[in-house]
Chain A
């Protein structure tokens, strides 16, 4: 690391996703009623018919179906941290996970835009760099279109 060749890679948010060859979102599941939450629930289950207070971590499905999508053609305001100058637009997809019966919002992977998406198309979870500082790359989960 003395030559700076290896930068530290850290999640931009703690505990929301795993990092590795097959990354996954980490939500949790109410042990009483089975409802899945992402981001994780704590202390109380939000199902109105459930008084559950205990949750077990659960990896969410790594693939899903695009519910809808858009892009950000203008730079969002802080606390968004742009990756560089000039600003590079990016796409965002809302993705339906069949097993969890929920929709999860995420940026779309580098190199892909709205032309690569349509409602109903399949995507896969990946982890990429959201922004960087002098020492670290800060990682975030993203949706990557499957061909």
Chain B
């Protein structure tokens, strides 16, 4: 049923390299094209995921990458959806292929990030909630992650040790990933000994900001078959849903939730709706998954995702973790790449990096972190200001 496939993927290693983001994007694009065995001149559409921290070239990333690779007259698109930008750029490319407007598309995202907390862009903007939350509340991104973590402790009895176990697992996974920035194993005790940043979350449990680049080559299934593309990965679904009113979970960068006075709560909370839309489109369910790459902005948030993507019922994530189900070798490995814990976040590249990892896993090319017999994988992610994204892939 899939009409669009991934013909190639590529990444520039994550790090704090301090170079221009275009460099990472071009390196990732060239790696993806080489992986696909496709020449740059065969690309008919460049779909860029924008970065907001690198000036004008970042706002028009599709054109920036196209010019850097050498103008060929290919059509262009640029998308911004915060952390979900990569998935949105992927969806633009898929839609163009499905519409029959092109057969080969290159999707690229890359970022160069400043040190420390992600802060709002400079300048006084008292109408921008992202500016106001820093000015009036001192509410950083970890503030919101910590609110969810504490809430999980209160609702389900999660402990700081549970959160540290997630970090320890992802550290083990990332050890073998040449594209990961942090390739070091931490014991649960070492995680618990790291500095408290936003109680109950510690330094090692909150994702850093990184430089990096990721790229995906999409083609029509027909074109891939004609070209004899090896191991094409089918794109079964891409979800780019928004929340349903009233959104009753406090979301970055907001001061409040929606009020539920006039409209009853949504049946499906936002983060569950993200994966549900992908499952519905593909006609497959969480029981069919071989692995998942989820957005572990914090260790605790990974546990929320287990439930949101349907791996278990609400309140059962800790059990899944303790049983070893979500480690490589377990029933349903989560973040075999090492996740954001080992990468840090390169915003416009991150959703594409998730897709790269799942593609490598499904092609059996993930090396020492390979999930045996991987056939179906999902990525899940939520971007600032209500951007959901999930990509469902299969071989």
Contacts and interface: CB of A to CB of B under 8 A. Distances in A.
Bind each other: yes
Interface of A: 12-13, 30, 33-39, 46-50, 67-74, 76-81, 90, 92, 94, 100-107, 114, 118-120, 130, 140
14 contacts: A13-B136, A35-B262, A37-B259, A38-B255, A71-B146, A72-B143, A79-B131, A90-B138, A101-B259, A101-B260, A107-B137, A118-B154, A119-B151, A120-B154
Interface of B: 116-117, 119-120, 124, 126, 131-140, 142-143, 146-151, 154-155, 195-201, 245-246, 248, 250, 254-263
A72 B262 CA distance: 34
A28 B282 CA distance: 42
A94 B140 contact: no
A60 B350 CA distance: 39
Given A72-B143, A119-B154, A100 B261 contact: yes
A69 B124 CA distance: 28
A47 B135 contact: no
For the complex, would chain A's binding face be called helix, strand, loop or mixed by DSSP majority? loop
Given A13-B136, A70-B199, A102 B259 contact: yes
Given A68-B148, A79-B134, A47 B245 contact: yes
Contact of A77 (B117, B150, B263): B117
Given A70-B198, A77-B116, A105 B261 contact: no
Contacts of A92: 137-139, 143, 147
A80 B116 CA distance: 14
Contacts of A30: 262
Contacts of B126: 13
B212 to A, nearest CB: 22
A75 B7 CA distance: 45
Given A47-B245, A79-B135, A80-B134, A73 B261 contact: no
A67 B259 CA distance: 14
B257 A103 contact: yes
A72 B147 contact: no
Contacts of B250: 67, 94, 103, 105
Q: Which 8 A-B pairs have the closest CB atoms?
A: A70-B146, A119-B154, A77-B119, A101-B260, A76-B138, A68-B151, A36-B259, A68-B147
B256 A12 contact: no
B131 A70 contact: no
A78 B119 contact: yes
A139 to B, nearest CB: 10
Contacts of A72: 138-140, 143, 198
B199 A67 contact: no
A70 to B, nearest CB: 4
Contacts of B151: 67-68, 119
Nearest to A102: B259
Nearest to A93: B147
B116 A46 contact: no
Nearest to B147: A68
Given A47-B263, A79-B134, 14 more contacts: A30-B262, A35-B259, A39-B255, A72-B138, A73-B195, A76-B134, A76-B139, A77-B116, A80-B134, A94-B250, A102-B248, A103-B256, A119-B154, A130-B136
